[in-house]
A and B are shown apart, each in its own frame.
Chain A
Amino acid sequence: MKSNDIILQTAAKFVTFIIMIFSFYIFLGGHFGPGGGFVGGLLTSSALVLMLLAFDIKTMSTVIPFDYKLLIPIGLLVALGTGVGSFFFHVPFLTHAFGHFTLPIIGETELATATIFDLGVYLVVVGITMTIIQTIGESE
């Protein structure tokens, strides 16, 4: 039985992008406003879940052929790597650095290694949420 949820599917396509962009905004702005890797990750996965609800697991896995479980170790490695990286500069584990740079197009921006760490958090959160939901969804 195939139900016709064309409105949902169409709306989901648009809304997903809006949520995605919002989640990136929240993630990147975490150092200055509310947000950060955790909430950003949760929002990204909620966008993906919306897609899941509008379509189904099979469609999702053909559109995004990616194993979300992989995101967990990748995210952990990124976070750990940030920490280990501080050893190359003879400072204690997880010492962060930041600086102000002038980038093309964007202009003067503050770049901080803490953001890379936050990226790790972000990836892990997306990974675990998607893993849990997909696993439970696939089970009967």
Chain B
Amino acid sequence: MSWLHLAILSPFILAVFIPLFYKNFRRIHTGWFVFPLPAVLFGYFLHFIPMNQNGDVYTKTLKWIPSLHINFTAHIDGLSLLFALLISGIGALVILYSIFYLSKAKEALHSFYVYLLLFMGAMLGVVLSDNLIVLYSFWELTSLSSFLLIGFWYERKKSTSGAQKSLVITVFGGLSMLAGISLLYIITGTSSIQEMSSQIEVITSHELFIPALILFLLGAFTKSAQFPFHIWLPDAMEAPTPVSAYLHSATMVKAGIYLLARMSPIFSDNAVWFITVGIVGSITLFWGSFSAIKQKDLKGILAFSTISQLGLIMSLIGVGSAALHYDYLDDNFYVIALTAAVFHLINHATFKGSLFMIVGIIDHETGTRDIRKLGGLMSIMPISFTIALIGGLSMAGIPPFNGFLSKEMFFTAMTNVMEMDIYHLETWGVLFPIIAWIGSIFTFLYSIILVFKTFTGAYQPEKLAKKPHEAPIGMLISPIILASLVIVFGFFPNILAYTIIEPAMSAIAPQLVQGGERFYINIQFWHGLNLEIAMTLGVILIGILLFVTLKKWTKIYDLLPEKFTLNNLYNGLLKGIEQGSKSITSFFMTGFIRDYLVYIFSFFIVLVLGTMWAKNAFQFNFSNVAPIGVYEAILALVTVAATITTLLSKSRLTAIISLGVVGYTVALFFVLFRAPDLALTQLVIETISVALFLLCFYYLPQLKRNKKLTFRLTNFLISLGVGVVVTLVALSANSNRLFTSISEYFLKESYREAGGKNVVNVILVDFRGFDTLFEITVLGIAAFGIFALIKLQLERRNENEKQ
């Protein structure tokens, strides 16, 4: 157990003690006990930066299930460190914020912080695990803790349904990922990512490569809310705002991006990867930004904005994979896409975190998040306004904030797509920059709406539940820190470039730096007048134009009726599955034993006939058939006659007696076929069972009229089928004797080995005495069963009489 393992597991350990703190220190907000942990972890992870800058990695292994090659290997490289810093850093800020956001008196704080710590530990585990099985375990734990956090206010119906939806979708993806992991394990024989990376040739040439890739993509797309799996994220906004800020903007939704970046050395040099990731990312970017505008809820806007920004990062990772197609680093124009992805990842975490916190403050101070009721809060909440402005403009991609820089790089990457000479991009690649540009216009628009509809315009105090005022300083600390980071990264992007982005890039695209080279990234604030600047200017101009004319064209959102939305599709799917399975079940589980017997016998006929047909077993050979004597023929006729009487008789008594006839005829058959023991037993047993039948007959209720068996065609066909099948099987088995019978041994050895001349009896008690032992046990159980049934019934009857 190293310090690194302890760091990953520390949130779980602390989570155990949270309820104790909550119970024993009621006067102190429980959050204060949680807050130091992520802060310390942040400091701990910071000290890995110099190591990473030198291009080194840090690996520690803790044996878990060595026999299955599953070990808890913690691995720190640039990518994991970036995420670990995000998780612990924003985690600390969110906890600080939640201390002021959540009421000490009203909320179940212990559950909140336990879930949050579980989530934090799981997330650290996801990003720091080298073993895919361990990663998967933590991955599902993030889904689970996210489910708990979304449903934190479990009395609200929307919370629980949102939690359920997110769980269904993310677990669907998680299980796909597990399938992908299994496929990779089959291909490589290892579940360690590092060891897989050394077998890239083996993996890419394997036939299971594409299925594994698609399954991994499903996992990443569902977790990162990509189209069409994005529908859970807006519903997850029912969670407390600190949760939304932490999980649904900065960390969990980026787990899918982490997974893609982590697996990109293995998968990304492939057209399917490029096309799927690039296109899904672009569609998500466009759809998210387009849908954000029609939202009336501030958190709804932010949710769709997150979806759109995740799509942006996703498309950059997809496009960035083209860099691997060219095996040189110098002049590799496409590396910029990966740089932009990593840089925007950081930027998004900063500005989206601050925006969520501000929305939380607005909600907290005014009592509503509805954009139609808000307005004119600028002079009442100046600090919040400033932060929102910084975050909003950064999100829109306006200089001098960090969003501007990553957006420029995004444009550069997307315009470069056209110049690629792979995957026929020279023709359809032009779609990438167009979608990117349109998406950016909408992004600009919703950012502006978010900030200006809330803080400027008419102040409507009569619509607000509370009298608004500026938030307490404690609540503002975290968004202030994040907003300052937005500005710092905006002005000095290169402090990130050397420390974090470059090592992260080496982790995403290790193929490019194999020859001892390293990435040199220099994010320039001003790179001259070029196409990207023109595009940004276009975004701003058209964006402002659209904002001014907002009322005139928002009608287009009504063009798409509610029926055709993805949410409706999802609900319909769930409902369809439920109703479908219900109707299927109620169709065949009728509750009538007759129906179940029909199924059983039909399957018997189909399976046996099918097997005989498939194995070509219809070979009948009558050469070893014994001659049929007169007595046999007579007895057979009697049996058939008795059987027909049993079936067609009108009264039960006749049926019982003809059944007895059948039994005694069988005993006679035993006599004819020289089985005296069987004949004896059959005679006695038949007598007893006929007596018992008569007993049953005697006790039948009076109401029942003696009725002839009604004829049903299905029953007739099935019974005919069963009879024919059994006959065929018997004939076929008799015609295909493969071995000589074992009975010769018994006949020969019966007296010598067991000292008996009655071979049947010797077999029963000596050669196969074990069977007999259990047969008499069965008889004993039957006797006690009858005894118990009758006695219990008697007692119950006595009780009823007493009452």
Contacts and interface: CB of A to CB of B under 8 A. Distances in A.
Nearest to A129: B688
Contact of A37 (B695, B754, B765, B770): B765
A73 B676 CA distance: 29
Nearest to A110: B755
A35 B757 CA distance: 12
B436 to A, nearest CB: 80
B202 interface: no
Contacts of A120: 776
Contact of B758 (A35, A69, A132): A35
A117 interface: yes
B280 to A, nearest CB: 66
B787 interface: yes
Nearest to A134: B787
Contact of A128 (B684, B782, B790): B782
Interface in A118-140: 118, 120-121, 124-125, 127-129, 131-132, 135-136, 138-140
Given A79-B773, A94-B770, A127-B780, A31 B762 contact: yes
A42 B692 CA distance: 15
Interface string B279-323: 000000000000000000000000000000000000000000000
B786 A136 contact: yes
B680 A34 contact: yes
A94 B680 contact: no
B685 interface: yes
B750 to A, nearest CB: 10
Interface string B409-452: 00000000000000000000000000000000000000000000
Contacts of B776: 75-76, 79, 120-121, 124-125
Contacts of B783: 69, 72, 127-128, 131-132
If over half of A's interface residues share one DSSP class (helix, strand or loop), that class is named, otherwise mixed; here it is helix
A80 interface: yes
A107 interface: no
A85 interface: no
Contacts of B794: 139-140
B790 A135 contact: yes
A42 B684 contact: yes
Contacts of A72: 780, 783-784
A122 B229 CA distance: 72
B758 A33 contact: yes
B757 A31 contact: yes
A76 B677 contact: no
Interface string B761-798: 11011100110110011011011101100110110000
Contacts of A25: none
Contact of B755 (A26, A75, A93, A98): A98
Contacts of B770: 83, 93-94
30 contacts: A30-B761, A33-B757, A33-B758, A34-B677, A38-B681, A39-B677, A42-B684, A46-B684, A72-B780, A75-B776, A76-B780, A79-B776, A80-B773, A83-B769, A93-B770, A94-B769, A99-B755, A110-B755, A114-B756, A114-B762, A114-B765, A117-B772, A124-B776, A124-B780, A127-B780, A127-B783, A128-B779, A128-B783, A132-B782, A135-B790
Contact of A31 (B692, B756, B780, B787): B756
A139 B790 contact: yes
B756 A112 contact: yes
Contacts of B681: 38-39, 42
A83 B773 contact: yes
Interface in A17-45: 26, 30-39, 42-43
Given A96-B769, A127-B783, A136 B758 contact: no
Contacts of B777: 76
Contacts of B755: 31, 98-99, 110, 112, 114
Q: How large is the interface on A (under 10, 10 to 19, 20 to 34, 35 or more residues)?
A: 35 or more
Nearest to A115: B765
A26 B776 CA distance: 18
A80 B773 CA distance: 7
| Residue of A83, A96, A112 with highest tally of chain B CB at under 10 A | A96
Given A34-B677, A69-B783, A131-B786, 6 more contacts: A31-B761, A33-B758, A121-B776, A125-B776, A131-B787, A132-B783
A33 B688 CA distance: 24
Contacts of A37: 765
Nearest to A138: B790
Contacts of B773: 79-80, 83, 94, 117
Given A35-B677, A79-B776, A114 B766 contact: yes
Given A124-B779, A125-B779, A139-B794, A36 B786 contact: no
Given A83-B769, A98-B754, A129-B688, A35 B761 contact: yes
Contacts of A98: 754-756
Contacts of B680: 26, 34-35, 39
A39 to B, nearest CB: 5
Interface string A63-97: 00000010011011001100100000000011010
B765 A117 contact: yes
Contacts of A139: 790, 793-794
A4 B787 CA distance: 32
Contacts of B756: 31-32, 98, 112, 114
Contacts of A80: 773
Nearest to B782: A128
A46 to B, nearest CB: 7
Contacts of A114: 754-756, 762, 765-766, 769
B791 A135 contact: yes
Contacts of B786: 131-132, 135-136
Contacts of B688: 42, 129
A140 B790 CA distance: 10
A75 B784 CA distance: 14
Contacts of A31: 755-758, 761-762
Contact of B772 (A93, A121, A135): A121
Contacts of B684: 39, 42-43, 46
Nearest to B688: A129
A120 B779 CA distance: 12
Contacts of B677: 34-36, 39
Nearest to A72: B780
A77 B777 CA distance: 10
B765 A118 contact: yes
B799 to A, nearest CB: 15
Contacts of B793: 139
Interface string A99-119: 100000000001010100110
Nearest to B755: A98
Nearest to B772: A121
B779 A34 contact: no
Contact of B769 (A76, A117, A136): A117
A55 B411 CA distance: 108
Contact of B787 (A34, A69, A94, A110): A69
The 5 closest A-B pairs by CB, nearest first: A98-B755, A34-B676, A128-B783, A31-B756, A124-B776
A1 to B, nearest CB: 20
A31 to B, nearest CB: 4
Interface in B40-93: none
A79 B780 CA distance: 13
B787 A121 contact: no
Contacts of A136: 692, 695, 786, 790
Contacts of A128: 779-780, 782-783
Contacts of A42: 681, 684-685, 688
A96 to B, nearest CB: 5
A34 B677 CA distance: 5
Interface in B651-678: 676-677
